[in-house]
Structure 1
């Protein structure tokens, strides 16, 4: 049989065998990476019908029955280590071609295919766990990282035509034999690596823009009890709210900001509060006048100290302290002792002030508290 076989057929069979062997190795490597990216204990469902009403089964990922369940929750209550793109259209036969032909499409670790309807799920394993516990009960939640994860997922949905409404963490179980699973990558991704490959455009905001948004959010949070400020209180509420934040902002950032930047932040904050809180809103001229008053105070009263360094301010405070207080009070110890004697003799406060050279105000205070 072998002697009569066509050499080309033998070569083709050997090539197919090697290709299948390579695919099996790639799949095993990708599944190992996936296994390390999920929680030790997972919630599992046997079918899509079970997802609707049945309670999930909780199993360890190394359990022998783990592969009998078609669906799983890929995140715990606190963290997630994968990013899943759900494509709800018939693309199972051409998804590999789409990935290779799209320049900014990162290669997924796993492709999970449902041959019944042609839908697929792309699984990207992350090198580092992402905390999704917004309550921050364990103290390791990063809002910026969570926002970055969501932005990255939305961007990949745009590239592949994924389902934007897929927000939960329940996906197909790649260990289940019900699905056709293809392993494409055996190493996990950093999120910034996915962003670079997919050409995610991150908008760079200036420090002032971020601080302005943060300040406005804080003011809004503090004034939630005042849904609207009616006529008669609008100027007062606007002035004191903006003033409170303007003083702190000026003290923190006077050395780094230009006057124009500071004025723009204060003016934008006042305009937003006026629009969102005041009913009806104040005229723009009144808002501008309020801002000018606050800014003028910052420049004149607070600004004169900004030109001094910390050592110069300490020296200035020392000089101010020498003008009065206990050091200066020792010079009048003899006059005050004489004033006490006069008070015991029944002299009036005006006479004591004239005889001792003390001021009438100081003399009267000493008389009321010490001399009698």
Structure 2
């Protein structure tokens, strides 16, 4: 595996990099750099900094036992080791990359977060690592790297066996908290806020979006490494959009919901058209898609029925 070429293997134009995130004499700094120049940086985002796609999962271990794996645990692509302390990063490659954008499906994101927590527990990893910048496996001056020739890209579903929920809960109780970081932050924020929104929708939450935002920001502040404000806002917008367009719960059935029927969509589209016409403006499918949140192709198809 040592003949893997940095630029060809990562196959992206830019990488998020840094040289001094552990420095005590300099401010922490990271920046985007052409992949051809990023090869010699100490730290690099193996998942491109400007794309929310996870192809590599990094587990940060602050102990020296870099060559210890439990039982038949899957081998990583590589292990990057600090020569002095033997602290290390295990880098796993996913067979199917996971899109983590707010508009992506939540089931793969939950699966990724679950596997990440299981791996952290099994390998004694740092629960506060955000999985953004990894020790650069190709930087031979800064680190020692073990490449595993028998590694295989991970199929996330097959890795669920390493997630032991009860043991992780017990670990959390013993250590006050099993800190949520990495990819689990997005999932936990989304689930926490949306379930509160479902339960309280027929109270104040259905008329005051600010409650959704304030709740999300308060919960985000409990993370060791809070999510950026833009991610919190995107999560809130996704929840509010769902509540306004698709939620049909009641006080007795707070989690009931439905997919809008064609007639529902037609009414929403007609209402949007009336709003545009009342302002004396022209409209097209693209404009109406932005107003309703429906895909442009759906709007074009519905316009033929009006």
Scaled by the length of structure 2, the TM-score of the pair is: 0.51
Report the counterpart of residue 72 of structure 1 in structure 2: 44
Report the counterpart of residue 183 of structure 2 in structure 1: none
Task: Check conservation: 1:110, 1:123, Cα contact below 8 A.
Answer: yes
Report the counterpart of residue 48 of structure 1 in structure 2: 21
Task: Check conservation: 1:111, 1:183, Cα contact below 8 A.
Answer: yes
Task: Check conservation: 1:38, 1:81, Cα contact below 8 A.
Answer: no
Q: 1:243 to 1:59 in 2, by over 3 A?
A: closer
CA-to-partner distance for each residue in 1:60-94, whole Å, 9 max, x for gaps? 32x1x323210112333421211111001222xxx
Shift of 1:188: 1.9
Matched, 1:84 2:58: yes
For 1:27, what is the secondary structure of its paired residue?
A: coil
Report the counterpart of residue 220 of structure 1 in structure 2: 200
Report the counterpart of residue 120 of structure 1 in structure 2: 88
CA-to-partner distance for each residue in 1:135-171, whole Å, 9 max, x for gaps? x2xxxx1211111111111111111110011124111
Q: 1:103 to 1:180 in 2, by over 3 A?
A: same
Distance 1:50 1:38 in 2: 29
Task: Check conservation: 2:197, 2:205, Cα contact below 8 A.
Answer: no
- RMSD after superposition: 3.6
Matched, 1:172 2:172: no
Matched, 1:28 2:7: no
Task: Check conservation: 1:41, 1:60, Cα contact below 8 A.
Answer: yes
Distance 1:57 1:215 in 2: 36
Which of 102, 115, 118 is the equivalent residue of 1:155? 118
Q: 1:243 to 1:123 in 2, by over 3 A?
A: closer
Q: 1:223 to 1:45 in 2, by over 3 A?
A: same
Report the counterpart of residue 255 of structure 1 in structure 2: none
For 1:80, what is the secondary structure of its paired residue?
A: strand
- Counterparts in 2 of 1:235-274, with a 5 A limit? 241-242=250-251
Report the counterpart of residue 280 of structure 1 in structure 2: none
Task: Check conservation: 1:37, 1:125, Cα contact below 8 A.
Answer: no
Shift of 1:222: 4.8
Distance 1:81 1:194 in 2: 15
For 1:48, what is the secondary structure of its paired residue?
A: coil
Distance 1:180 1:144 in 2: 36
Distance 1:126 1:115 in 2: 27
Which of 119, 130, 138 is the equivalent residue of 2:98? 130
Structure 1: segments with no counterpart, 5+ residues? 1-25, 204-213, 228-239, 250-372
For 1:242, what is the secondary structure of its paired residue?
A: coil
Q: 1:221 to 1:241 in 2, by over 3 A?
A: closer
Report the counterpart of residue 189 of structure 1 in structure 2: 154
> Bigger radius of gyration, 1 or 2?
1
Q: 1:246 to 1:159 in 2, by over 3 A?
A: closer
Distance 1:215 1:111 in 2: 39
Q: 1:38 to 1:223 in 2, by over 3 A?
A: farther
Task: Check conservation: 2:57, 2:131, Cα contact below 8 A.
Answer: no
Shift of 1:46: 1.8
The count of corresponding residues between Structure 1 and Structure 2 is 186
For 1:130, what is the secondary structure of its paired residue?
A: strand
Q: 1:142 to 1:222 in 2, by over 3 A?
A: farther
Shift of 1:173: 0.9
Report the counterpart of residue 110 of structure 1 in structure 2: 78
Distance 1:174 1:27 in 2: 10
For 2:127, what is the secondary structure of its paired residue?
A: coil
